[in-house]
Amino acid sequence: MKRSIALITLALALAACGLSQPTASSTVEVGSVALATASAMIDTGGGRPAEGQIAPDFSYTMADGSVHRLSELRGKRVLVNFWATWCVPCRDEMPELQQVASENRESLVVLAVNRNEAPSAIAKFGNEIGVTFPMIANIAGDIGDRYGATSLPTTYFINRDGSISSKQLGALSPTLLAKHLGSLR
Question: Do the domain assignments include residue 44?
Answer: yes
| Cβ atoms of residues 179 and 100 within 8 Å | no
Number of structural domains, the chain?
1
Q: What is the pLDDT of residue 75?
A: 97
68 within domain boundaries: yes
Residue 78, domain extent: 25-183
CATH at 70: 3.40.30.10
d(CA 106, CA 132): 14
Report yes or no on 5 lying in a domain: no
- Has residue 43 been placed in a domain? yes
Residue 35 lies in a domain: yes
* Confidence band for 25, pLDDT divided at 50, 70 and 90: very low
> How many Å is the maximal CA-CA distance in the chain?
73
Alpha-carbon distance of 146 to 164, in angstroms, equals: 14
Give a yes or no: residue 41 inside a domain.
yes
Q: What percentage of the chain has pLDDT greater than the value 90? A: 80
Whether 62 maps to a domain, the answer reads yes
Please state, in angstroms and rounded to a whole number, the distance separating the CA atoms of residues 170 and 41: 23
Could you report the per-residue pLDDT of 148-177, keeping only the tens digit for each?
A: 999 999 999 999 999 999 999 999 999 999
pLDDT tens-digit series, residues 44-71: 888 899 999 999 999 999 999 999 999 9
Q: What is the pLDDT of residues 113-135, one digit of tens each?
A: 999 999 999 999 999 999 999 99
Mean pLDDT value across the chain: 87
Q: What is the pLDDT of residue 15?
A: 35
In a domain, 20, yes or no: no
